[in-house]
């Protein structure tokens, strides 16, 4: 009884309900990606380890976020940004690890990491320290968008796309294109959520699905899809490339 009261999952509240399956899905994905490291060539093991870290870190944060939301009914802003500040740069590192065989240099990785950190730090300042003014929201939102646009540009047109095209690997080309779609579509929910806060273009008086509290429903679903989806794309590339190597040896 005490355990049920501690978890306090409200089946009638979709936001409260999705915290728990989000936590379990990402925990299961972390175990899967870590276990599957033994099924791929050595050069892809680190990529799967990073995928396991991304989903594992997210699972831990979701464990705490569900209790925070159940106890307060408020958006766990600080916990979300701690999670994103750890996992989003790791997702950018995945681009580098996948494209390293095609000639990606460390500078490529650091530029993506810097852009993602700028995006997240500016977003946190804009959301956590808001004074309710539109100027504050827009200023930090624009700065955050600069980082996002850089990652998006690299994935679709810039260095990531060029390296993928030069990789001579259909699996890598297809995989980078899939990750680019995640960045374009999957990550789009986060600026929408940002705009529901006080001072944002969709808040603070938004109702229904655009209420600041209810945007957590989309965050929970988007986090699970984006993080697990990223990992599955990486896993598919690793499996295909490893199978090709085994076939060549045989």
| Angle (nearest 5°) at CA 28 between 23 and 32 | 150
Contacts of 174 (CB under 8 A, 6+ apart): none
With respect to residue 95, please indicate whether it lies within any of the assigned structural domains.
Answer: yes
- Specify the pLDDT at position 199: 58
With respect to residue 168, please indicate whether it lies within any of the assigned structural domains.
Answer: yes
Supply the DSSP string of 49-94, one letter for each residue: HHHHHHHHHHHHHHHHHHHHHHHH-S--HHHHHHHHHHHHHHHHHH
- Specify the pLDDT at position 212: 60
Query: pLDDT per residue over 79-92, tens digit each?
Result: 999 999 999 999 99
Q: Among candidates 58, 59, 66, 74, which has minimal Cα distance to 16?
A: 66
d(CA 33, CA 26): 10
Using pLDDT thresholds of 50, 70 and 90, give the confidence band for residue 1: very low
> In total, how many domains does the chain have?
1
- Mean pLDDT, rounded, for 33-61: 96
- Mean pLDDT, rounded, for 49-61: 98
With respect to residue 117, please indicate whether it lies within any of the assigned structural domains.
Answer: yes
Q: Which domain holds residue 165?
A: 13-249
Using pLDDT thresholds of 50, 70 and 90, give the confidence band for residue 206: very low
Contacts of 123 (CB under 8 A, 6+ apart): 81, 140, 141, 144, 190, 194
Query: pLDDT per residue over 119-150, tens digit each?
Result: 999 999 998 887 777 888 889 999 999 999 99
91: number of Cβ within 10 Å: 24
d(CA 183, CA 242): 26
- Specify the pLDDT at position 130: 77
d(CA 37, CA 48): 6
pTM over 0.85: yes
pLDDT surpassing 80 at residue 7: no
d(CA 16, CA 9): 6
More confident residue, 240 or 2: 240
Supply the DSSP string of 161-223, one letter for each residue: HHHHHTS--HHHHHHHHHHHHHHHTGGGHHHHHHTTSTTSTT-SS--GGGSTTTHHHHHHHHH
pLDDT surpassing 80 at residue 197: no
With respect to residue 8, please indicate whether it lies within any of the assigned structural domains.
Answer: no
With respect to residue 179, please indicate whether it lies within any of the assigned structural domains.
Answer: yes
Supply the CATH number for residue 209's domain: 1.20.1070.10
- Specify the pLDDT at position 13: 79
- Specify the pLDDT at position 203: 57
pLDDT surpassing 70 at residue 184: yes
With respect to residue 4, please indicate whether it lies within any of the assigned structural domains.
Answer: no
With respect to residue 2, please indicate whether it lies within any of the assigned structural domains.
Answer: no
d(CA 24, CA 56): 10
Query: pLDDT per residue over 230-246, tens digit each?
Result: 999 999 999 999 998 77
Mean pLDDT of the chain: 88
- Mean pLDDT, rounded, for 146-170: 96
Supply the DSSP string of 18-41, one letter for each residue: HHHHHHHHHHHHHHHHHHGGGGS-
- Mean pLDDT, rounded, for 106-125: 97
With respect to residue 1, please indicate whether it lies within any of the assigned structural domains.
Answer: no
Terminal-to-terminal C-alpha distance of the chain: 58
125: number of Cβ within 10 Å: 16
d(CA 104, CA 160): 8
pLDDT surpassing 60 at residue 205: no
């Amino acid at each position: 009884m005490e355990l049920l009261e501690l978890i306090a999952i409200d089946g009638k509240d979709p936001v409260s309900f999705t915290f728990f399956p989000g936590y379990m899905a990402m925990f299961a994905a972390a175990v899967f990606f870590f276990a599957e490291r033994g099924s791929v060539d050595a050069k892809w093991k680190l990529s799967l380890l990073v995928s396991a870290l991304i989903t594992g870190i997210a699972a831990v944060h979701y464990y705490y976020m569900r209790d925070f939301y159940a106890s307060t009914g408020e958006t766990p802003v600080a916990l979300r940004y701690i999670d994103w500040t750890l996992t989003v740069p790791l997702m950018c590192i995945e681009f580098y690890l996948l494209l390293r065989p095609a000639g990606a240099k460390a500078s490529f990785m650091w530029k993506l990491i810097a852009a993602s950190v700028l995006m997240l730090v500016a977003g946190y300042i804009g959301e956590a320290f808001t004074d309710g003014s539109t100027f504050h929201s827009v200023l930090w939102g624009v700065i955050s968008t600069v980082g996002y646009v850089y990652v998006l540009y690299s994935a679709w047109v810039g260095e990531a796309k060029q390296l993928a095209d030069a990789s001579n690997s259909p699996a890598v080309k297809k995989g980078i294109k899939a990750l680019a779609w995640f960045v374009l579509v999957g990550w789009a929910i986060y600026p929408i959520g940002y705009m529901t806060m006080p001072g944002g273009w969709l808040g603070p008086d938004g109702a229904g699905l655009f209420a600041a509290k209810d945007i957590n429903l989309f965050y929970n679903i988007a986090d699970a899809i984006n993080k697990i989806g990223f990992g599955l794309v990486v896993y598919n590339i690793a499996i295909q490339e490893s199978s090709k190597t085994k076939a060549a040896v045989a």
